[in-house]
Amino acid sequence: MLKVPKPDLGLPWSNRFLTLGEEFFTRLEPTPLPRVHWVNCHLSFAKELGLPTNIFESTDVLNVLSGGGTFQGSDPVASVYSGHQFGHWAGQLGDGRAIYLGEIQTPRGNYELQLKGAGKTPYSRSGDGRAVLRSSIREFLCSEAMNALTVPTTRALCITGSAGVVYREEVETAAIVTRMAPSFIRFGHFEHFAARGQIDKLKDLADFVIREYSTLLVDPKEQSFYPNEEIKKLIQGNIYALLLYRVTLKTARLIALWQSVGFCHGVMNTDNMSILGLTLDYGPFQFMDDYDKNHICNHSDHSGRYAFDQQPNIGYWNLYCLGQALLPLIKDKDLTVQCLDVYKSAYQEFALESSLKKLGLETIKLETQASDLVKKIDSIMEIQGIDFTIFWRTLSQCVSKIEMTLDKGNPQDRDYFKAVNKMMTHPQAQLLWAKWVPNYLEFLFGQSLSPNEIGQKMLKNNPKYVLRNHLGEMAIQKAQKGDFSEIEILLRILTNPYDEHIEFESFASTPPEWAKSISISCSS
């Protein structure tokens, strides 16, 4: 039998997840793809991780990341979990097409490696365990785009492609994304053992997360949301309640950040929710073009359960499922509810904080005034149906050009926002915008920084480029013909989304009319 070489990544392996025992996973080898090639390799991420500079020059590494072997030190498994899908209990699920290779110790901390699309596992159900090139490109690019937008996310190291075919709505070629994260543990892992009454395994899992990931779970504002000192003592005195409290805050912050960049996840099932508050499982996602609170990005979501404006509520619902799973360990229903209910105030604060940052307003003394300012601009954007990303970028540019002069009358009388005014074509939006601007200027001129300085900060917070559906589609269409150049261009732009990239100005333009017909589903 031919012995397949096991390449060495040059970094130590930990594989902590495997210490939980075989109730949590099944050991198996990935299934290799035929006639493989590189689609794209994220060199700067590899450098961040301290991986060898020539890692992507190795045929052996290409084969391993295409399912054709393992690294020295890796121990591949598929994990089991359960979950609620579209609000209904789905029972046992698991890694149906993702295979964990192991965990490496890097200068940036420990990272697990997963191959998404590496073949059938015991949890594939009726699936083939494969991923198509189309969805692999979308996940690869969006993972890195979100990271550059400072939204917590799993990361993507590379895509490998194949001449092998898979069958979805049509025949497509297969691909594998090598994705990485400190942990891929989901709400569904806890639900799985709770539903089966395996409380000892549930406890093992909770103890493992508390022991290994506590530093990653602490939010900078953790002390801010305890209801009162008595509840604070109860939560801090119960390690499982504290775990739930921390995951609640992480989830609230994550979804507030999604809303701030106009990101629609599309399939917020509990098995797609990260215990570390990371954006996980990029399926039918979309960055909104024209602002529509009711936007549904997943054409399989007929009821609109996962519409853009429902994401905060679904985050809360999913946390209740996690809380129910942890209840046998917390052993106090009222305390569990107290931990979960901090989500409401935490989400509101994180969302307001994000919105004010987009407006360049770091300090407003009265929270009600700040909230009113944000609600009104949100309403204006909704009425106008304005392009979400272009609006915020244009507003930032306008503010950055304001120069203070003391001898030209009332600054509120000047037309600082000509570029935004042109975007307001709806009569009601025009009226509300005209009333909103003086209030905004009053707050703007009340900051410690000059408007020009504030505008420069806004330009570093409101991106010029996001992964719009049509940009991904253009890269996919080229890639399906063997041309991967557009993926490389998009990766360069999306990992520096606040830069001007003048040569790629068209990538920041209003989407073409045909983009409205792009339909994304859970299929991959």
- 6 assigned to some structural domain: no
Shared domain check, 197 and 326: yes
Same domain, 43 and 147: yes
Q: What is the pLDDT of residue 521?
A: 67
Confidence of residue 365 (pLDDT cuts 50, 70, 90): low
Residue 406 has pLDDT above 50, yes or no: no
Confidence at residue 515, expressed as pLDDT on a 0 to 100 scale: 84
Q: Which of 168, 184, 200 is the last residue in one of the domains?
A: 184
Task: Say yes or no: 340 and 449 in one domain.
Answer: no
Identify whether residues 316 and 194 lie together within a single domain: yes
In the chain, the number of structural domains is 3
Indicate whether 432 and 344 sit together in one domain: no
Q: Is the pLDDT of residue 311 over 70?
A: yes
Largest CA distance in the chain: 87
pLDDT surpassing 80 at residue 27 = yes
State the pLDDT at residue 208. 98
| Residues 22 and 86: beta-carbon distance below 8 Å | no
Domain membership flag for residue 520: no
Q: Which of 133, 157, 184 is the last residue of a domain?
A: 184
- Give the per-residue pLDDT at 258: 98
160-174, 358-372, 502-516: the lowest-pLDDT one: 358-372
Q: pLDDT-based confidence at 363, cuts 50/70/90?
A: low
254 and 323 within one domain:
yes
Type of residue found at 117: G
Burial class of 371 by CB neighbour count within 10 A (0 to 12, 13 to 18, 19+): middle
Tell me: pLDDT of 409 over 50. no
Residue 161 within a domain: yes
Q: What is the pLDDT of residues 39-61, one digit of tens each?
A: 999 999 999 999 998 999 999 99
| Whole-angstrom distance, CA of residue 442 vs CA of residue 438 | 6
Q: Which residues contact 459 (CB under 8 A, 6 or more apart)?
A: 393, 396, 397, 400, 498
Residue 377 lies in a domain: yes
Which H helix or E strand runs over 372? helix 367-384
pLDDT at 422 over 70: yes
Same domain, yes or no, for 197 and 101?
Answer: no
Q: Quote the pLDDT of residue 362.
A: 81
The active-site residue, picked from 95, 204, 207, 271, is: 271
Q: Is 7 domain-assigned?
A: no
Spatial separation of the C-alpha atoms in residues 62 and 68, rounded to whole Å: 8
* Between 426 and 4, the higher pLDDT residue: 426
β-bridge partners, 42: none
Assigned domain for 415 exists: yes
Residue 368 confidence (pLDDT) above 90: no
Beta strand residue intervals within 117-208, DSSP E? 131-132, 155-167, 171-181
Examine the domain organization and report whether 305 and 421 are in the same domain: no
The answer, yes or no, to whether residue 101 has pLDDT greater than 50, is yes
pLDDT band at 367 (very low <50, low <70, confident <90, very high): confident
User: Is residue 320 domain-shared with residue 375, that is, in the same domain?
Assistant: no
pLDDT for 225 equals 96
Predicted local distance difference test score (pLDDT) of residue 248:
98
Q: With contact defined as beta carbons under 8 Å apart, do 104 and 13 qualify?
A: yes
| pLDDT > 70 in the chain, percent | 96
The span from the CA of 319 to the CA of 340, in Å, is: 7
Computed over every residue of the chain, the mean pLDDT equals: 94
Same domain, 320 and 407: no
- Domain encompassing residue 295: 189-359
Same domain, 353 and 380: no
Counting residues of the chain whose pLDDT is more than 90, the rounded percentage is 89
- Does residue 340 share a domain with residue 226? yes
Question: Would you place residue 1 in the very low, low, confident or very high pLDDT band (cuts 50, 70, 90)?
Answer: very low
Tokens of 332: 């106090």
- pLDDT at 5 (0 to 100): 73
Q: Clarify whether 271 is annotated catalytic.
A: yes
Residue 2 has pLDDT above 50, yes or no: no
432 within some domain: yes
* Boundary residue ending a domain (400, 424, 459): 459
The pLDDT tens digits for 116-151 are: 999 999 999 988 999 999 999 999 999 999 999 999
User: Is the pLDDT reported for residue 396 higher than 80?
Assistant: yes
Would 490 be classed as within a structural domain?
Answer: no
pLDDT in tens, 222-246: 999 999 999 999 999 999 999 999 9
